[in-house]
């Protein structure tokens, strides 16, 4: 019972103090509220290979010496996101923290002897 009485007294005191004050001092209604969310972007591309050489391009690689690397596991090293390429070697990551930074892709496939790492700069 004492806790309730003390809580009620504190609440009542707060109401009295706030009622006597100019609320524009406590809350600025003319100021915008800004909530900054980290910028997110989409990273996508095509992966093709020739032997143990891997290329990451923004458009499908149509050179006859390179073939699409289908069903490859692509890991975005910084966030741990994982995706797989389709039959054209296309992959996509959404919600990547951006811009003005490098990201690293880890490319794994049974045709490659070792995982391949490549860095991409996000503008």
Is 34 part of any domain? no
Does residue 83 surpass a pLDDT of 90?
yes
Q: What is the pLDDT of residue 89?
A: 93
Number of domains within the chain: 1
Is 18 part of any domain? no
With a threshold of 0.75, does the pTM exceed it?
no
Highest mean pLDDT (candidates 53-57, 59-63, 106-110): 106-110
- For 9-60, the pLDDT digits (tens) are 777 777 766 666 555 555 566 666 666 556 778 889 999 998 878 888 888 8
Is 29 part of any domain? no
Q: Residue 91: give the domain boundaries.
A: 40-122
Q: Which is it for strands 81-84 and 73-76: parallel, antiparallel or unpaired?
A: antiparallel
- Each residue of 60-94: b (16+ CB within 10 Å) or e? ebeeeebebbbebebbbeeeeeebebeeebebebe
Instruction: CATH number of the domain at 56, please.
Output: 2.60.40.1120
Is 21 part of any domain? no
């Amino acid at each position: 019972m004492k806790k309730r009485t003390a809580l009620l007294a504190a609440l009542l005191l707060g109401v009295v103090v706030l009622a006597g004050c100019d609320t524009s001092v406590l809350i600025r209604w003319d100021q915008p509220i800004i909530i900054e969310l980290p910028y997110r972007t989409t990273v996508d591309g095509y992966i093709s290979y020739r032997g143990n050489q891997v290329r990451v391009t923004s458009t499908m690689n149509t050179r006859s010496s390179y073939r699409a690397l289908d069903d490859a596991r692509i890991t975005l090293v910084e966030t741990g996101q994982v995706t797989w390429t389709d039959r054209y070697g296309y992959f996509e990551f959404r919600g990547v923290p951006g811009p003005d930074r490098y990201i690293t892709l880890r490319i794994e496939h049974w045709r490659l002897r070792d995982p391949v790492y490549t860095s991409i700069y996000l503008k």
